[in-house]
Amino acid sequence: MSAGQILRKDVRAQAWAAWAPVLAGLGLLYVPTYVGVYHEFWSLHEQSAAPVMLLLVGWLVWRQRSAFAAVGATDARLIGSILFAVGVVLYVLGRSQSFYQLEVASQIPLLLGVVGILLGSQGLRRLWFPTFLLLCLVPVPGSALDQLLLPLKELVSDVVDNALHLAGYPSARSGAVLSIGPYNLLIADACSGLNSMLALSGVGLFYIYLSGHARRWIKATLLLSILPVAFLANVVRVAGLTLITFYAGESAGVRFHDRAAYLEILLAFGGFFAIERVLVWAGGSRADQKPATAELRPG
């Protein structure tokens, strides 16, 4: 074994020794949090895309695993300590009051604080985005958003109803209730699109982060397309649920509904990929169409 390999092995061992108690402490804090969030929200399919976002965040952190070897940097300990203290306060308040929104959100400053204390500013630059995506896991308090949910539900049902009419299906709409054949489907809060739009916004940010485009206008256009893509993915979900219920019955519709969040994620990825390809093609076409400047030569 070469001296360089021995040195790298020692560095990794030191990093694991420093991070092992941190990981154990984070597990003690947040494993009970996620168990509670699962039973209160994710198991009811209101935010069933959230576990996928958690896996994506974990994968992004794993991609940056080389950053964890830089234990000992001191150039961000002050801001790291402040963020850590804020995170602890939010966690204590959320945990003591059974306020899951605050408890889950406390991860962001707390984790960034730990990174700043142990890894310094370089670690913060490399890990801020995966940590920021944890914001997509904060449960949405439905009762506080009733004024927003009702018009959103009606808009989703109206778009689906019009699309089915154009396709020749016997559909009708009354408020947030969509009727097709002998079936009446209530567009519930979970199908309003708000939860899925929040989750798919995280998927969109994840896609833009991975795409790594140098062209700012492509990044800006992709950012602006996040909410429309998320809304259209939810419309496709509701339309699919309606058609499956119409053709295969209510039980088949329920089974589709329980798994439709994963379809939305695939649709969103497909939508972002298609938009990106069109933008890249359009950018290349514009570059090809630029008039060539005449070369002036003396004499």
Active site residues: 191, 237
Tokens coding 76: 């961000």
Residues 296 and 298: their CA atoms lie apart, in Å, by 7
Tokens coding 150: 């009702």
Residue 39, amino acid: H
Longest Cα–Cα distance in the chain: 85
Residues 117 and 79: their CA atoms lie apart, in Å, by 8
- Return the number of other C-beta atoms located less than 10 Å from residue 229's C-beta: 24
Task: Tell me the chain's radius of gyration from C-alpha atoms.
Answer: 24
Q: How far is CA 246 from CA 46, 134, 254, 287, in A?
A: 23, 37, 12, 49
Tokens coding 40: 């209160």
Residues 73 and 66: their CA atoms lie apart, in Å, by 14
Residues 31 and 26: their CA atoms lie apart, in Å, by 8
76 neighbors 120 (Cβ within 8 angstroms)? yes
124 neighbors 76 (Cβ within 8 angstroms)? yes
Residue 186, amino acid: L
Residues 211 and 194: their CA atoms lie apart, in Å, by 25
Residues 210 and 223: their CA atoms lie apart, in Å, by 13
